[in-house]
Each structure stands twice: as structure tokens, then as C-alpha cells.
Chain A
Amino acid sequence: MRRVEVADLSAWYGPKKVLHEVNVVAEPRKVTAIIGPSGCGKSTLIRCMNRMHEEVRGARVRGKVLFDGMDIYSPDVDPVDVRRRIGMVFQRANPFPTMSVFENAVAGMQLGGRFSRSELKVRAEGALRAAGLWEEVKDGLDEPGARLSGGQQQRLCIARALAVEPEVLLMDEPASALDPASTLRIEELIEELKRSFTVVIVTHNMQQAARISDWTLFMLYGEVVEFGPTSKMFTRPDEKRTEDYITGRFG
């Protein structure tokens, strides 16, 4: 069970500082939601949590992200290993267009190491079941992954992330491009996943944060405004700005 602790984290794109000394903790078996208006740095923050931020040209980070006390930005840590253990699901479903449903589900294993065919099959089924997609695709595992519907593609991407057996799952607005029915499925899925994972989710949908998260972080202009238990944040926030945002006065 993994605890992710962000300590005094700042991030830049080129000369532009987009995160200002952020502190937050994601507890194991809990869902931590990051909310805030567009451009407040919530995506940048979640991307810093598995070192995806540095994949953008000119991007820089200062501060620490502790994964069970171990700093993932320490110079002797391999970012490849960080990302294998801290998985990520993106806003837009991005199944690999040259691969079938099956190959997509186990892409992380096939690309990252050598596994026997039978082992891949077991893991593919396990991951697709965990992502709630198995029943819909079990008869079409060899179909191209890109032929699925948008909601199915996103669940395929979740399966793909689960198949490498990460310890933490980061989700960057995983339902924002989906219709309400698919969104509901993803939310139910997150409820399931939090039994075995540390889940961090970025969302611009406050109702979603209120429904599914245990902890909520509210950000504005790259700074933390308030961080606390979701029930408290949405009923008795300490900060006036939090109250204004969640009651829809801005953002």
C-alpha cells in the first residue's frame, strides 16, 4: 500500500512557473481528487507524480515527491521504473492504433519485458475484468483497439494501466471526454479500484470529486488553496475561495 507525498513541489514550463511549492498527500486505499479551474496546474501536478511532466520539452521540477518515503526525483531513480509502479490514465483515450484489444491490454508487459503467451492471457483477462470491459470485448480480443467506443477505449486504457500491476493509479480527467453513461461506469470503476490502489484523480467536475473522492485538493493559479477531507471541503470549507469555487461563483 503506497502513500504518495508531494513536498514543496514547484514546476516550470520553460521560464513559466506553473506550480508554487505544492504540498499534498495521497493516502493508500483512498481517492484523492484535485480540483480547480482550467490552467490552475492540476494536470501538471498529477504529471509530476510519476515524472511524466519532464517529457514536455523545457519542463522542470523542484521539490520532492515521496513514494513511501522514497523521493522519485532522487538522481539515482529510474523514471521508467517510477512510471511502471505509478500508472497513469489520460484525459483522451489513447489506445495504440496498431494493436488489437488484447495487445493493448498487455502492451505495458509486452513492450517492457518478456512474458509467456499464457501469462499474458491471464493478465489481459484480469486487467480487462478489473476495468469492467471483459464481458464486452471477450469475443473480440483480436479486433483493433481503436474500433471500440470512446467509453470502452478509456476503460481499455485503464486496463492497460492496471495490467502492469502498478501500486498507484493517477487519472488525469479520465471521464471528461465521455458521455454520462460512460462517466458513471468509470466512476463505479474508481470505487472498485480504490480497494486495492492509491488513486489520484484530476477533475474539473466538482460533483464528480464530491461523489468519488475521500480527500480533495483545491488549486488556484498553481497554488494549493485548501486540502482536506472531501466531506468537509464541500460542506464547511475553511477558505472563502474554496466556497466560492464549489458554489459555482467562478471557474
Chain B
Amino acid sequence: MIATVEIAPMGRLRAGRRWKDRAFTAFLWACAFLAMVPLVLISVYVVSRGWHALSVNFFTKEPAGPLDPSAGGIAQSFVGTGLIVGMATLFSVPLGILTAIYLAEYGRGRFAGAVRLIAEVLLSTPSIVAGVFIWSLVVVAMGTFSALAAALALTVLMWPVIARAAEEILRLVPQELREGALALGVPRWRVILRVVVPTAGAGILTAIMLAVARGLGETAPILLTALGNDFINTNPLQPTDAVPLRVFADARTPVAALHELAWGGALMLLVAVLGLSIAARAVSSRQQKRMT
């Protein structure tokens, strides 16, 4: 005897549901589009205003005199930014990664909590505070504005970015890899340096690039520490120019030719930050492929 089984009919997709689905999809698209609008507007505007300034002189010359300001460039700003951000990266990368390793691999209890809290507070501290802090601590003590002081101010801002982002990435490294290495009789610190950190490598690189991008564009902290300079300076203990400082200074003058240079500087900052962000995205997507 064969038992017959009643099969309940599948519910039908009603027109109302379909319409709701479409409306909501359209709404989400609109939101994404709206979010893109300011970015596109800013980019287009900065490019349209700034690209006139780009010339050989712009990259190779120091500011010309007031008689013909358009003949000058902002070479000193590029050199200064390179010097300041370079030093800041040199300070904040080891500090940030070591902090991240401590927090992710060893940190437990009160002290780790305090370190994490400090990093988080620094992350959301207005950057001018970092400037004032280093000004009172370094500039006043040394009796001079300097690239070194600016680099220290940026380190205060970049260190927590690297520390917190790298900590999260180190936590993503599967526990099985640590155990696999420990079970081979490898000391813990070597497991971290040779297995955990390389596995998280691309992610850590991303964190560094994002921190550098932040450091590149900061104005307030270096205003109070690097001061600015009309000439190329490579001495870390002397006042130094930087691209954001130059944009700020030139934009405040009534001289049209200097406004042009300011737009050019702004464009270069935009390009650098965009470039770093895109590179960071590329690196992290490669990382994701490898982790899975």
C-alpha cells in the first residue's frame, strides 16, 4: 500500500512584496549615491582649481619674491612633509606595532585596559591638543620650532591608529596557528614574530598606510611645532615647512598667485591620501584572500 502525502503549495510571491523589494533596493542605491556626492564634488573641484598650479617650478622652486609670486613653487613644503611624516612614521610604526602585540598577545588585566583606553582617547583627541602638548613639552624646552617636534606631535596621533588597527588584525590570526607553532616547541615571542605578525602582515601594512595618510594631512599639530619655512630645510632641529601649512599660509594671503599654489598643494595632499587609501584597500583585499 502506498501512502499519499499531501504537499502544501508554496506561498506565491505577491506583487506587493516585489514592489517593496524594488523600492528598498532603489533607496539603498540612492543612499550610496548621496554618500559619494561630496567626495566626487571635492575631488572634481580641487582638481579643477589645483591642476593649473602644477608645473616644474611648483615642485622644484622655493617661493619667489613678492614681485612675481607665480614664478615660485612649494618645494620646501614637499621636502618638509617628507621629513616630518617620515620621522613620525619611523617613531610610530615600531611603537604602534609593539603596543598592538602587547595588547593582542599578552595584554590582560588592568594595565592592558589602561593602555587600550589611552589609545582610544588619543584616537578621538582633537589634533590641536597634540600640537599644544608637544609645543609645551618640546618646542618650549628646545627653544625652537622644529621638524622633530612636528614629527613627535604626529606620532601622538599616528601611534594609536596603528596600535588599535594592528591589534584588531592580530586578533584575527587564527589561534590554531599559534598553537601549531607552540606545539613545535617554539618560544612564544618567536611564534609571535615569525608566525603571527607575518600572517597579519598585509593588514598591519594597511594600518600603517592609513596612519601615514592621517599624518600627511594634519595641519593643526604641525602649525604649533614645525612653524613653517620659506626655504628648503633638512635639519630636523630647525623650523620646517609642510604642504598643509603652506596651503593654510598661502590661502590666507590676498595674492591670487599664492591662492593658486595653495590649490596645487591641496590637490597634491588629496592625491597622496587617495593613493594611500587605494593602496591600503588593495593590500587588505589580497590579505583576505590569503587568510581564508
A96-119 residues with Cβ-Cβ distance < 8 A to B are 96-98, 107-108, 110-112
Q: Which of B177, B178, B179, B184 is the most central at the interface, judged by chain A CB atoms within 10 Å of its CB?
A: B184
- Interface residue ranges of A34-50 to B (CB < 8 Å): 50
Q: Tell me what chain A mostly uses at the interface: helix, strand, loop, or mixed.
A: helix
Main secondary structure of the interface of B (DSSP, over half): helix
Contact B180 A94 (CB under 8 A): yes
B155 CB–A CB distance under 8 Å: no
Q: In the complex, what distance in Å separates the CA atom of A54 from the CA atom of B263? A: 60
Closest to A144 in B: B290
Is A121 located at the chain interface by the 8 A CB criterion? Answer: no
B291, CB-defined interface residue at 8 Å: yes
Contacting residues, chain A, for B201 (C-beta < 8 A): 98
Minimum CB–CB distance from A36 to chain B (whole Å) comes to 22
Contact A161 B199 (CB under 8 A): no
Residue-by-residue, is B166-207 near A (CB-CB < 8 Å gives 1, otherwise 0)? 000000001011111111111100110011001101000000
The distance in angstroms between the C-alpha atoms of A82 and B182, with both chains bound, is 10
Contacts of B177 in A (CB 8 A): 94, 96-97
Bound CA span A194–B49, Å: 76
Contact A97 B199 (CB under 8 A): yes
Cβ–Cβ contact A96 & B185, under 8 A: no
Contact A112 B185 (CB under 8 A): yes
Nearest A residue (CB) for B178: A55
Contact A108 B290 (CB under 8 A): no
In this complex, which of A52, A80, A82, A161 has the most chain B Cβ atoms within 10 angstroms of its Cβ? A80
Contacts of A82 in B (CB 8 A): 185
Please state if B182 and A96 are interface contacts (CB–CB under 8 Å). Answer: no
CA distance in complex: A15, B185 (Å): 28
- In the complex, whether B18 has a CB less than 8 A from a CB of chain A is no
Say yes or no: B180 contacts A112, CB within 8 Å: no
Contact B183 A88, beta carbon cutoff 8 Å: yes
**Residues in B whose Cβ lies below 8 Å from that of A85:** 185
Q: Is B108 an interface residue (CB 8 A)?
A: yes
Contact B195 A84 (CB under 8 A): no
Min CB–CB distance B177 → chain A (angstroms): 6
Q: Closest Cβ of chain B: how far from A121's Cβ, in Å?
A: 18
Which one of A50, A87, A94 has the greatest number of beta carbons of chain B within 10 Å? A94
| CB-nearest residue of chain A to B193 | A111
Task: Check B184 against A108 for contact (C-beta < 8 Å).
Answer: yes
A160 within 8 A of B: yes
Nearest-neighbour CB distance to chain A for B192, whole angstroms, equals: 11
Q: A139 near B: Cβ within 8 Å? A: no
User: CB distance B183 to A52 under 8 Å?
Assistant: yes
Q: Is the CB of B186 within 8 A of A157?
A: no
* CB <8 Å contact, A111 and B181: yes
A50 contacts across to B, CB distance below 8 A: 183
In the complex, the answer to whether A108 meets B176 with C-beta atoms within 8 Å is: no
Q: Are A96 and B195 in contact (CB under 8 A)?
A: yes
Partner of A160, one of B178, B184, B187: B184
Of all chain A residues, which has the CB nearest B187? Answer: A80
Task: With A57-B108, A97-B199, A98-B199 as known contacts, state yes or no: A157 contacts B187, CB within 8 Å.
Answer: no
Distance of A161 Cα from B186 Cα, bound (Å)? 12
A76 at the interface (CB under 8 A from B): no
Among candidates A57, A83, A95, residue contacting B182 with C-beta atoms closer than 8 Å: A83
Cα distance A82–B190 in the bound complex, in angstroms: 16
Give bound CA distance, A88 to B201, whole Å. Answer: 26
Q: Given A112-B190, A164-B185, is A90 in contact with B199 using a C-beta cutoff of 8 Å?
A: no
Question: Which residues between 61 and 108 of chain B lie within 8 Å of chain A, taking CB atoms?
Answer: 108
CA distance A103 to B182 in the complex (A): 16
A179 CB–B CB distance under 8 Å: no
Q: Answer yes or no: A81 CB below 8 A from chain B CBs.
A: yes
Q: Give residues in B with beta carbon < 8 Å to A.
A: 108, 174, 176-187, 190-191, 194-195, 198-199, 201, 290-291
Q: B-contacting residues of A (Cβ < 8 Å)? A: 50, 52, 55, 57, 80-85, 87-88, 90, 92, 94-98, 107-108, 110-112, 146, 157, 160-161, 164
The 7 closest A-B pairs by CB, nearest first: A84-B185, A108-B184, A88-B183, A94-B176, A94-B180, A83-B185, A111-B186
Q: Can you pick out 13 interface pairs between chain A and chain B where the beta carbons lie within 8 Å of each other?
A: A80-B187, A92-B176, A94-B174, A94-B177, A94-B180, A97-B177, A111-B186, A111-B190, A112-B184, A112-B190, A160-B184, A161-B184, A164-B185
Contacts A96-B177, A96-B181, A111-B195 supplied; 9 other A-B pairs, CB < 8 Å: A52-B182, A55-B178, A80-B185, A82-B185, A84-B185, A88-B183, A98-B199, A108-B185, A157-B180
